[in-house]
Structure 1
Amino acid sequence: MRSTGQRTLVTGGAGFLGSHVCDALIRRGDDVLCVDNFHTGTRDNIAALLEHPRFELLQHDVTLPLDVAVDRIFNLACPASPVHYQHDPVQTTRTCVHGAMNMLALAHKRGARILQASTSEVYGDPEVHPQPESYWGRVNPIGMRSCYNEGKRCAETLFFDYRRQYDLQIKVVRIFNTYGPRMYVDDGRVVSNFIVQALRGEDVTLYGDGSQTRSFCYVDDLIEALLAAMDTPADFTGPVNVGNPAELSMRELAERVLRLSGSRSRIVHRPLPPDDPKVRRPDIALAERALGWQPRVPLDAGLEKTIAYFRAHLNA
């Protein structure tokens, strides 16, 4: 692939999603600067890129200012699983808010286009279902999840204020539950939890009665959407929902993982964590219109690939 001559910065580039973004950008010919402080990211995720002539790694924390020459910025830096973002909630808020401010300042200085990886958590425990971008959400501002939820909401505010005040080219993408290879064994997310427990022959932990629902998007589909959002015309800012609208209960997901993994683990119930959303499903009509995007990977196919990844990882 010939170089596009475009230099793209990916913050959180050694993380689950960030490393896949780096892969996709290298494949299409960008020069990629991967920035990560390795709080949750890992060099294993980018090992195949480290010797590539168009890939550069910079260990840096986005809560500190950064000045580099770039044309585009994907701001993905932030722990995204409850286990990780609740471990140091003050630092999580700092990463969301100070990180966004520093990357926006860099984009403004360099005339770069910038994309914010926001989250479906900005909708909180929603009263509107499915969730359209016009819904303002129902978020507890002082709860255990607030460091992430409110941090991401504040980051969106900063992005749109930079747009209004400085006419900065921004893109805001609200990412719904995403899964696939390079998820972490101990990240506490439901897909990785179920798969790891099933492969280890441990009890599969179901919180509450298992009737709460989620929608799961395979990582390859999600990365296509992020790149498509970045490439939209300058007057399109979002926010835009990206996720798979196929909804299922947590009990259904647990049963599917057990079937696909061939596990004989049993399902056990634990109390529901505070502020855990009862439903979560994206309205993706805007993504379909503006990005020309729909998820393509069926859940079973994505789960099979993810199970194979974890099986190999655990065996190693």
Structure 2
Amino acid sequence: MRIAPLLALVLVSTTGCAAFREDSATASGKVGVAAAFYPLAFVAQEVGGDHVAVTNLTQAGKEPHDLELDIKTTADVADAELVLVEHGFQPTVDDAVAQVATGDVLDVADVVDLEGDDPHFWQDPARMATLTEAVADELADLDPDHADTFRANADRLVGELRDLDGAYADGLRGCERDTIVVSHDAFGYLAKYGLQIEGIAGLSPEAEPTPADLARLQDLIRSDGITTVFSERLVSPRLTAQLAKDMGITTEVLDPIEGLSDETSQEDYLSLMRENLAALEQANGCPA
């Protein structure tokens, strides 16, 4: 479902209840934030705390690559005082922002140094720290009365992200292997820690590998002594399970943290990143 057929209805809906929304926003005293997908929502909530109302446009358990906006989520974009997006990652969100957003828009691509066409920047905690500081600046502009709180929250989160960055650098140093095979190319930013990432599928989890791709991965698994093929939670493990079965090796989960699921509903970005680190250390024979 594309945005254009919904636009007129959304505009009528948001105009008709504008007075109610204004009264509600005033009563709550919170900055309304619409975040395109989970890592952006996580940063907004951590920085904003009790002074923001964050809406994640991608429902829990859904793949953000596949997002199609309905009337409600399009209206969420229109209503938000701050919209957090990553241009090019979710075309329907880009369309909605261009057509209905009335608040401030922060595009990750404008503040974070992205690697080519790879949108999965949040696999690098240092880049998440850069986003954190940018979100704090945006919220401080929108709600100056709580600017000190936003910046204090951002400082705390930046400290945690820097600790996480250090943990990855230390934990993945001196390992027996440095190559990982993953379900799709969502982990390229981990290359900063010396990892070589080989995806069964491409940047989108829907991409299908060719027979030549699979043959190359099989040769790589044999030559590098790879023990584990990594699957993920929000997409089918069909390809990873079959490759691991064919090669007689194991499968484990490496979460791309594009969103939470029922299984990870009590987790957050930081805890999932640490679980991923433990899985990588185990698979690659890293020193304890």
| TM bin (shorter chain) | 0.3 to 0.5
Higher helix share: 2
Q: TM-score, normalised by structure 1?
A: 0.32
Higher strand share: 1
Q: TM-score, normalised by structure 2?
A: 0.34
